[in-house]
Amino acid sequence: MNELLLVVTIAGERVALPAAAVESVVELDTLIPVPRAAPHVAGLSALRSRVLTVIDCMRSLELGASDCSDGIREAAVVELDGHHYALIVDLVEDVVEALSDPAPMRAAMGPGWERVSQGMVETETGPLLLIDVAALLAGATEAKAA
């Protein structure tokens, strides 16, 4: 059976998240900043009485910052090691079926994309970059330290 992918737009680029990793797609309204945390941690938010750690994907990819000033943001909720995260994305599009296994990208990508890439997958709407959610959550700082 082929994997299902959630197509989202980050920094203007359409990419795919493994749909199995995504619990839900939500609209965040409140955002409580976490002072002193890594730059890609945009803050905390509450979803159905759970605390979500909100990750700014653009910062995580070192592509600038998402604009959070207008209040409501779309985000994909994922769980890693018992913690819930909300990934701020520009837009959530649709769920599609992967038509191939991820294949390594041979062309050079930006360093941010390189770090979170799991390879390229074919879909009905063309090739998409498959994102490694854990790498996206770890952000730029940890990757440098490692």
By CB under 8 A, residue 53 contacts another protein: yes
Is 134 a binding residue for another protein by CB under 8 A? The answer is no
66 touches another protein (CB under 8 A): no
Residues 6+ apart with CB under 8 A from 75: 25, 26, 27, 28, 54, 86, 87, 88, 89
Q: CB under 8 A: which stretch of 9-17, 49-57, 91-99, 114-122 binds another protein?
A: 49-57
Nearer to another protein, 11 or 38 (CB): 38
Residue 51 touching another protein (CB under 8 A) = yes
Q: Chain centroid to CA 77: how far? A: 9
Tell how strand 83-88 and strand 50-56 pair up.
Answer: parallel
Question: Which residue stretch of 61-69, 80-88, 94-102, 119-127 sits at the interface with another protein (rule: CB under 8 A)?
Answer: 80-88
**Does 63 participate in binding another protein (rule CB under 8 A)?**
no
Dihedral, CA of residue 41, residue 42, residue 45 and residue 51, to nearest 10 = 0
